[in-house]
């Protein structure tokens, strides 16, 4: 029997098990990660090796360095995930991996490693879209959460409003017309001299600053649920360069606070407009930027005021990790959506 047919039969059997376990691998950018997930939402182990120290002298992720570091670390990271879960390769029911979007060389390391494991262990192989992973990170914490719901996905490459429909179908409600929110945070951080990774550093500086010190422009977008951050970014760069040219010391904390407020206000305004127009009762956040402290505080208070139930991913599941990939893999498995051993990395894989 062909591998694919054999695996479909195995998948049926796995779905009947009360404690099915997935070994998940994530290597789409600068984190080498592996996790063991049971029954779709129980995290038995979650190992993340961050490459920040390797990239920070360059001020951003260097793709070749990322790929090489994944190759060097992936074996140890997977072994650590199994040993933390006190389980063996043979006790895994399926192998899952992020197949895109991301850096092609980085993705290929995870895809090929996972493929080798699935083949040699003769277990089902599951390909996961990284963005679906970020959304599914919420299932690890909120056992009561199930589609349909509206999700704001904000990461280094995405600022999307996505409706998660029954059967885990995804519908695009709005998205950024230019830069992603995380990208804008990283750029703004660099302009005011904060080191990589800029987003979290800018968030920390902003906690100490005055958000009303600088007025930044609000964007005009085509669709009412779309985002735009490039005009805001340009205005911020011009503001900062003006100060540098006048030899003024940069009020880093106030600049960070003003920029953060402009981004967060826009994220929340559009998301809440969609919530109201679509009659949603729940709002879910996902992606690296959902770790932003102002975003978490402000969206909580707006949702409380409006009577909307808000779901936030735990901080440990906001950034890239493999636990979220395992959670998404379970949903793919439940739809018998298995990957073939011919799976390739797809750097521009779309969810919607
Ligand atoms: O989801 P993620 O870890 O990777 C991608 O899939 O892109 O998101 C990374 C992005 C980066 O741009 C990073 O600066 C941003 O999330 N980020 C933050 C914070 N933590 C991470 N941005 C603002 N405030 C934070 N606390
Ligand atoms: Zn991510």
124: CATH: 3.30.420.40
pLDDT category at 122 given cuts 50, 70, 90 is: very high
Q: How far is the CA of 154 from the centre of ligand 1 (A)?
A: 8
State mean pLDDT over 193-214.
Answer: 96
Same domain, yes or no: 123 and 175 = no
What is the reported pTM?
0.97
Residue nearest ligand 1's atom 1 by CA: 288
Kindly give the distance from the C-alpha atom of residue 211 to the centroid of ligand 2, in angstroms, as a whole number: 27
Residue to probe by mutation, ligand 1, list 48, 319, 350, most atoms within 8 Å of CB: 319
- Please indicate, yes or no, if residue 264 is contained in any of the structural domains: yes
Q: Is residue 346 part of a domain?
A: no
What is the pLDDT averaged over residues 316-343?
97
Count of positions (residues) in the chain:
352
Dist CA 272 CA 152 (whole Å): 10
CB of 288 closer than 8 Å to CB of 202: no
Ligand closest in space to the Cα of 287: 1
Residue of 182, 291, 292 to mutate, ligand 1, most atoms within 8 A of C-beta: 182
Q: Residue 56 domain-assigned?
A: yes
Position 131 scores a pLDDT of 98
Q: Is residue 57 part of a domain?
A: yes
343 assigned to some structural domain: no
Structure confidence at residue 1 (pLDDT): 83
Residue 342: closest CA among 35, 67, 118, 28: 118
Answer yes or no: is 91 within a domain.
Answer: yes
Residues 186 and 308 in one domain: yes
Distance 183 CA to ligand 1 centre (A): 8
Q: Does 81 share its domain with 167?
A: no
pLDDT at position 168: 97
Residues with CB under 6 A from ligand 1: 29, 134, 155-157, 182, 185-186, 197-200, 203, 287-289, 291-292, 319-320
Mean pLDDT of all residues belonging to the chain: 97
Residue 28 is predicted with a pLDDT of 98
Residues 156 and 49 in one domain: no
- How sure is the predictor about 42, in pLDDT bands with cuts at 50, 70 and 90? very high
For residue 2, the model assigns a pLDDT of 87
* 233 located within any domain: yes
Smallest CA separation from ligand 1 atom 20, residue? 200
> Which one, of 152, 157, 134, 178, lies nearest residue 267 by Cα?
152
Same domain, 168 and 69: no
Q: Please indicate, yes or no, whether residues 30 and 57 belong to a single structural domain of this protein.
A: yes
Confidence of residue 40 (pLDDT cuts 50, 70, 90): confident
Domain that holds residue 248: 144-317
Ligand 2 centroid distance, CA of 103 (Å): 11
Q: Do the beta carbons of residue 125 and residue 94 sit within 8 Å?
A: yes
Please determine, for residue 220, whether its predicted confidence score (pLDDT) is greater than 90: no
Using CB atoms within 10 A of its CB, is residue 88 exposed (0-12), middle (13-18) or buried (19+)?
A: exposed
- Ligand 1 centroid to Cα of residue 203, in Å, is 10
Into how many domains does the chain fold? 2
Average pLDDT, integer, range 208-216: 97
DSSP per-residue letters across 79-124 = HHHHHHHT--GGG-SEEEEEEESS-HHHHHHHHHHHHHHHHHHT--
Q: Residue holding tokens 């360095």?
A: 65
Q: What is the structure's pLDDT at 161?
A: 98
249 and 152 together in one domain: yes
Whether pLDDT at 116 is above 90: yes
What spacing in Å lies between the alpha carbon of 319 and ligand 2's midpoint? 6
Q: Considering Cα of 218, then 222, then 224, then 225, what sign does the dihedral take?
A: negative
Over residues 11-39, the pLDDT tens digits come to 999 999 999 999 999 999 999 999 999 99
Both 98 and 206 in one domain: the answer is no
- Residue 45 pLDDT exceeds 90: yes
- Is residue 222's pLDDT more than 90? no
- Is a pLDDT exceeding 90 seen at residue 129? yes
How would you classify the pairing of strands 149-154 and 159-165?
antiparallel
Q: Are residues 268 and 162 in the same domain?
A: yes
Q: At what angle do helices 252-278 and 181-191 cross, to 10 degrees?
A: 170
Decide: 113 and 119 in contact? Cβ < 8 Å.
Answer: no
Question: Percent of the chain at pLDDT above 90?
Answer: 96
Query: Does the residue 341 lie in any domain?
Result: no
State pLDDT tens for residues 274-303.
999 999 999 999 999 999 999 999 999 999
Same domain, 185 and 313: yes
Asked whether residue 283 falls in the same domain as residue 205, the answer is yes
Residues 295 and 327 in one domain: no
């Amino acid at each position: 029997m062909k591998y694919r047919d054999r695996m479909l039969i195995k998948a049926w059997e796995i779905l009947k098990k009360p404690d099915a376990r997935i070994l998940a691998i994530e290597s789409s950018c600068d984190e080498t990660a592996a996790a063991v997930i049971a029954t779709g939402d129980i995290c038995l182990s979650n190992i993340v090796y961050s490459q920040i120290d390797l990239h920070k002298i360059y001020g951003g992720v260097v793709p070749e360095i990322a790929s090489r570091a994944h190759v060097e670390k992936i074996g140890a990271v997977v072994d650590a995930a199994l040993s933390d879960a006190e389980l063996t390769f043979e006790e895994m029911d399926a192998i899952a991996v992020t197949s895109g979007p991301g850096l092609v060389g980085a993705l290929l390391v995870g895809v090929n490693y996972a493929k080798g494991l699935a083949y040699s262990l003769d277990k089902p192989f599951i390909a996961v879209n990284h963005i679906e992973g970020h959304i599914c990170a919420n299932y690890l914490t909120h056992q009561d959460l199930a589609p349909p719901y509206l999700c704001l996905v904000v990461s280094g490459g995405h600022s999307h409003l996505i409706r998660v429909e029954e059967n885990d179908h995804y519908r695009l409600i709005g998205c950024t017309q230019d830069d992603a929110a995380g990208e804008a945070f990283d750029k703004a951080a660099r302009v005011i001299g904060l080191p990589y990774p800029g987003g979290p550093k800018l968030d920390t500086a902003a906690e100490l600053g005055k958000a009303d010190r600088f007025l930044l422009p609000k964007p005009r977008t085509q669709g009412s649920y779309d985002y735009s951050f490039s005009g805001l970014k340009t205005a911020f760069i011009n503001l900062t360069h003006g100060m540098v040219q006048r030899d003024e010391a940069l009020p880093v904390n106030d600049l960070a606070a003003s920029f953060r407020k402009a981004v967060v206000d826009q994220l929340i305004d559009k998301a809440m407009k969609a919530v109201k127009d679509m009659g949603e009762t729940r709002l879910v956040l996902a992606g690296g930027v959902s770790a932003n402290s102002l975003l978490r505080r402000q969206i909580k208070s707006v949702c409380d005021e409006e009577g909307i139930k808000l779901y936030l991913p735990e901080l440990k599941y906001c950034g890239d990790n493999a636990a979220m990939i395992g959670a998404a893999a379970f949903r793919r498995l439940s739809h018998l959506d298995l990957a073939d051993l011919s799976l390739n990395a797809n750097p521009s894989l779309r969810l919607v």
